[in-house]
Chain A
């Protein structure tokens, strides 16, 4: 049996299993709290796994292993930003949000503000961030499946994007938060087991001598010692000072973006209490941290063992390594099986992440824009859920269409742009809301739009969109800025806009601040679990 056939069989099993879960979840999803927050009845461990499943995208699994395999140390640098970022979520955001919010990021922001402008801004930002992220994932899925299953035709890619999109729509429309969470839990377990297995085999091959593995990797890469230190990919010496500023800018967006990503934030609502939200982030940090340590071995292992065979993007590094180490340890059949397993894990990874993104954006559309902005709160629970389901379908369809249109363009930068927007617009609004007494509507709206617009505009005029061979539009050149990552400017701009908007407006309510501060720290009046 070929690895393509085996991968397909494994993938069909995963899809059948997750559709079963979705069917079960749909029968237990009745109220708005069920659809948006899974009835708030997940345990800390379950939600921690789901946090891992939501967060570790194919870009972090195949992408980071690939960057390490091709450019050495710099891939590790990327993963460190992704991990340290969770401390911001743990110390400043997770518990306070669980205590004071309900279903979406905007619930916390609108708490003591004029709800309509703030919910509009937060809804727009949520949908923009989620769609950016979604596009990068779905276009990536198209080429990934091509590489793994040997489907190289354009039609094959288009069908892959459509299939991924349809599955994600089914998970979200029918399963809501319950279905999506279970898909993410199953995926996180598969990913951790798969990555740990390959890591153990690779380490075993090198007699658990990390130094030996690094030496072989550096030797095989042809770059020698430079392969083991920073500088081959981000801020290379050839790029000069702007390259290095770009590296710092990327680092800032990674570390500050996570706690402002809407699909991450809504996970804190799925547990019964703030204490469970804390536990889930602790589990999440453990799972994500161990996973990135595993990718370090996978990346250097791929550099040492399969260096010449890896494609330009690096995405095939982990699958090729799985095949090679399987063949070396268990023979040809072992290689085929491990390759198929890793390919199936990669599909599962993509599906779990895109489902989380679709859920976050459709929840925000229904709860923030439809229920509170268009209908001014005059809607029933049931109506909100119907609108959320329709929104999931429409957003999914739009994402499929945009991804097909963008499939031949290089849109990988959209992931770091999503982090930059989250760090520049959402994070200042959240932190000011929770901790700054004086903060008000004008401040919240200015922070969100200021951060969002400055990040997006800077990227439009950056080398990732035009004027470089690797740009989204390589044939035109309208770039004005040398930076690919806007964070170093857009994050301070977001915080500054929030500050100026606040002090230039007279609005201020001490009693509303007292309410959010007391509620967020004590859990008085927090939303209760509904459970079934």
Chain B
């Protein structure tokens, strides 16, 4: 079982400027991006259901809009995943590391359960 900590420790960290910055950087990237890729995906599904002639439009040879749109969903997924890992490494990890080191140095919080 996890050791019981004094909960006010977490509240103090939570109220701190550094943590508020970490929280803001995380949420202001992850939340809008989630909405964006869900909308982009739903647009694809809606077009597949309701705009089939458009999706069937040939672009070159037998390659049509539907195929390109589908492959673009793969491309956008790969790009968003890559962009998130860059964002997290540059903007989130350093603050999280500092906060964690600070808390462990002051021995405010014990280790998790073994």
Say if A and B assemble together.
yes
Residues on A lying within 8 angstroms of B by beta carbon are 33, 73, 76-77, 80-81, 83-84, 86-88, 90-92, 95, 102, 210-212, 214-215, 218, 225-226, 228-231, 234-235, 244, 247-248, 251-252, 255, 275, 278-279, 281-282, 285-286, 289, 292-293, 377, 510-512, 514-515, 517-519, 521-528, 530
| Chain A residue nearest to B40 in the complex (CB) | A84
Cβ of B11 < 8 Å from any Cβ of A?
yes
Complex Cα–Cα for A226 and B52 (A): 9
Q: How many residues of B contact A (CB 8 A)?
A: 61
Complex Cα–Cα for A279 and B73 (A): 21
**Of the residues B23, B66, B96, contact of A230 by C-beta under 8 Å:** B66
| Chain B residue nearest to A225 in the complex (CB) | B56
Cβ B74 vs Cβ A524 within 8 A: no
Cβ A87 vs Cβ B80 within 8 A: yes
**Of the residues A228, A281, A514, contact of B56 by C-beta under 8 Å:** A228
| Chain B residue nearest to A281 in the complex (CB) | B81
**Of the residues B7, B45, B66, B81, contact of A87 by C-beta under 8 Å:** B81
**Binary A-proximity of B67-106 (CB < 8 A = 1, otherwise 0):** 1001101100110111011001000110010011001100
**A511 and B7 in contact (CB under 8 A), knowing A88-B34, A229-B55, A522-B100?**
yes
**Of the residues B66, B85, B100, B103, contact of A282 by C-beta under 8 Å:** B85
| Chain B residue nearest to A74 in the complex (CB) | B48
Cβ of B28 < 8 Å from any Cβ of A?
no
| Cβ contacts under 8 Å, A515 to chain B | 5, 7, 10
Cβ B73 vs Cβ A525 within 8 A: no
Cβ B14 vs Cβ A514 within 8 A: yes
Complex Cα–Cα for A521 and B21 (A): 11
**A-B pairs with beta carbons under 8 Å apart, 30 shown:** A73-B66, A73-B67, A77-B45, A77-B70, A80-B74, A87-B37, A91-B30, A91-B33, A91-B80, A92-B30, A95-B88, A102-B112, A210-B63, A214-B62, A214-B63, A215-B62, A218-B62, A230-B55, A248-B45, A251-B42, A279-B85, A285-B81, A512-B7, A514-B7, A515-B10, A521-B92, A525-B5, A525-B111, A527-B112, A528-B111
| Cβ contacts under 8 Å, A281 to chain B | 81
**Distance (whole angstroms) from the CB of A321 to the closest CB of chain B:** 19
**Of the residues A218, A234, A286, A511, contact of B8 by C-beta under 8 Å:** A511
Cβ B70 vs Cβ A211 within 8 A: no
**Distance (whole angstroms) from the CB of B105 to the closest CB of chain A:** 12
**A255 and B50 in contact (CB under 8 A), knowing A377-B1, A521-B19?**
no
| Chain A residue nearest to B44 in the complex (CB) | A80
| Cβ contacts under 8 Å, A95 to chain B | 88
Cβ B104 vs Cβ A528 within 8 A: no
Complex Cα–Cα for A92 and B85 (A): 13
| Cβ contacts under 8 Å, A526 to chain B | 112
**A528 and B56 in contact (CB under 8 A), knowing A515-B10, A522-B100?**
no
